[in-house]
Amino acid sequence: MTSYPMSPLMGQMMDQPLLISSIIEFAARHYGSTEIVSRRVEGDLHRYTYRDCHQRARQMANALTGLGVKLGDRVATLAWNGYRHMELYYAVSGSGAVLHTINPRLHPEQIAYITNHAEDQYLYFDLTFLPLIEAVAAHCTTVKAFILMAGREHMPAETKIPQLLCYEDLISSSSDDYQWPLFDENSAASLCYTSGTTGNPKGALYSHRSTVLHAYGSAMPNALNVSSADTVLPVVPMFHVNAWGLPYSVLLSGAKMVYPGAALDGKSLYELFEAEKVTFSAGVPTVWLGLINHALQNQLQFSTFRRTVIGGSACPPAMMDTLIDKFNVEVIHAWGMTEMSPLGTAGGLQTKHLVLPKDAQRKILQKQGHAVYGVDMKIVDDAGTELPWDGSTYGHLLVKGPWIIKSYFKNEGGDVLQDGWFPTGDVATIDADGYMQITDRSKDVIKSGGEWIGTIDLENIAMSHPSVLQAACIGIAHPKWDERPLLLVVKRPGMEVTREEMLAFFEGKIAKFWMPDDVVFIDALPMGATGKIQKNKLRDQFKAHQLPVG
């Protein structure tokens, strides 16, 4: 920990560490009757209040003490978005242990790897993942017991899992007489491994302080803008970067919470949005694709849904247009990463932009957004020299702030900072008003004749074609230019478009040398564990593709 000089005159404010337990205490005391509604994997809807949640979190904290869990011990979850998962967010971190959220979409070998790497003592899991746990349990060498997040009636009669406990039994056999302990706010609170397309996943180890500051910062009007008048449905999973901090920021804002469980298809989401009068949501573009298609196909409108945050990968402008113009839903384009807790930037207009025509405003909103207070950013060239904020010069994006990692868990990867800044691996521009726009992941950028071609722009244009559902652009080795762009397109069901029509669609919209050399139509794009297109897989699949000679 860096120590800073002390002033001869110190402030005279209360000395209260920023701890996660203070969030649930506040929510239960000041918004005690506010509801948490969860679609359970068992099939039904569960509803209770912040007050109930706080009580059960305290019971679970007592149960953890009974299980011998101590300050700093890691406790894992493999679970969907739901009330039991949220109880663990508070019971585990609040009691001083470290909540390790595992992404169930990872390969079972990776799940065993990160469980062992984290040295998880206990692993809580949803009923859906019983077969997965049965397959990996023997390989998770540090786990003392696995806990099924369900009632006794769902416990399997026979199982290969050596030590299996029942969540509801643990709760019902534990008292709610529990005082959240006080400890140093820099203590570890939760752990999330990056999806890592190459090599083993690395852990981002968040502290109580970083989590509370991120919760404050991300709830602000220029960020996610959550208030007690909202009903929030986080589609973004609690197993990936703490659902963008919503299980914290929603509670300190006093908003009603709605958890979708495992039912993330367009129809189930639409029904839950309507039934629970959801006003605000957050998720990756692929989820919105399902929801929008369901609403369009069935000519449905949203009666209360007014605002959504889209991030995790670039929000296609066509998706933004549909949500705003057809459904009257405001879109906040946001950017961040696991290493940043995750929020870095969020979209929105400034006073001077309000007089601009709609198209000009839309161009601003399409960017990944403006830095949220708590995050500083800069773009640099290959030599590390800072580049101008002119909206067109692009460079490597670096960030710093109190909710950004300084190293990975167990120091994997060694020193990661460059002069105190974290290199994001993204390539971006920043304009004079401070809006950042990602052109690419640095490893996805196409290098053609010494120039860079940003694939996100090309994909966004392709996806504004009415026959295109999804598009991905990758670099293909080229004898003269190094690499040239190949466009891969998934057509909308029942729609047609030819290679030539697709290429003609780009005419006049991009510099000539950005024009894809070829278009290939495919049935589906490979998606990774966190809803991102796996371009490394596409590059592998198409590495022998012959580009037309031209």
Point out which residues bind ligand AMP (CB under 6 A).
194-195, 241, 311-314, 333-335, 337-338, 342, 368, 424-426, 438, 441, 530
Q: What would the two tokens of residue 67 be? A: 């299980």
Q: What would the two tokens of residue 315 be? A: 């929000």
The nearer residue to ligand AMP, 198 or 546, going by C-beta atoms, is 198
Residue 245 Cβ, how far from ligand AMP at the closest point, in Å? 12
Rg (CA), the chain: 24
Q: How many residues does the chain have?
A: 550
The nearer residue to ligand AMP, 290 or 531, going by C-beta atoms, is 531
Residue pair 247/101 in contact by the 8 Å Cβ criterion: no
Say whether the peptide bond before residue 342 is cis (omega within 30 degrees of 0).
yes
Residue 530 Cβ, how far from ligand AMP at the closest point, in Å? 4
The nearer residue to ligand AMP, 36 or 337, going by C-beta atoms, is 337
Residue pair 461/510 in contact by the 8 Å Cβ criterion: yes
* Core vs surface per residue 152-188: b (16+ CB within 10 A) or e: eeebeeeeebeebbbbbebbeebeeebebeeeebebb
Report the sign of the C-alpha dihedral through residues 167, 277, 51, 218, in that order.
positive
Contacts for 228 with CB less than 8 Å, ≥ 6 apart: 31, 34, 253, 254, 255
Residue 531 Cβ, how far from ligand AMP at the closest point, in Å? 9
Single out the catalytic residue among 101, 115, 194, 231.
194
286 noted as active-site residue: no
403 noted as active-site residue: no
491 noted as active-site residue: no
The nearer residue to ligand AMP, 187 or 424, going by C-beta atoms, is 424
The nearer residue to ligand AMP, 96 or 203, going by C-beta atoms, is 203
Residue 452 Cβ, how far from ligand AMP at the closest point, in Å? 15
The nearer residue to ligand AMP, 126 or 426, going by C-beta atoms, is 426
CA distance 362 to 535: 28
User: Closest Cα to residue 227, out of 169, 302, 279?
Assistant: 279
Single out the catalytic residue among 339, 403, 455, 459.
339
Using CB atoms within 10 Å of the CB of residue 432, give its burial: 0 to 12 exposed, 13 to 18 middle, 19+ buried. exposed
User: Closest Cα to residue 246, out of 89, 123, 113?
Assistant: 89
Residue 340 Cβ, how far from ligand AMP at the closest point, in Å? 8
Residue pair 291/270 in contact by the 8 Å Cβ criterion: yes
The nearer residue to ligand AMP, 87 or 459, going by C-beta atoms, is 459
CA 86 to chain CA centroid, nearest Å: 16
Single out the catalytic residue among 128, 452, 491, 537.
452
The nearer residue to ligand AMP, 94 or 311, going by C-beta atoms, is 311
Residue pair 334/366 in contact by the 8 Å Cβ criterion: no
Residue 512 Cβ, how far from ligand AMP at the closest point, in Å? 25
User: Closest Cα to residue 111, out of 88, 134, 127?
Assistant: 134
- What is the identity of the amino acid at 36? I
The nearer residue to ligand AMP, 17 or 423, going by C-beta atoms, is 423
Residue 309 Cβ, how far from ligand AMP at the closest point, in Å? 10
Residue 64 Cβ, how far from ligand AMP at the closest point, in Å? 28
The runs of H, that is alpha helices, within 200-352 are: 208-219, 241-244, 246-253, 266-275, 285-297, 317-321
Biggest alpha carbon–alpha carbon distance for the chain: 75
70 noted as active-site residue: no
SS (H, E, C) 9-55: CCCCCCCCCCCCHHHHHHHHHHCCCCEEEEECCCCCEEEEEHHHHHH
Residue 314 Cβ, how far from ligand AMP at the closest point, in Å? 4
CA distance 393 to 428: 8
Please give the positions annotated as active site.
194, 339, 447, 452
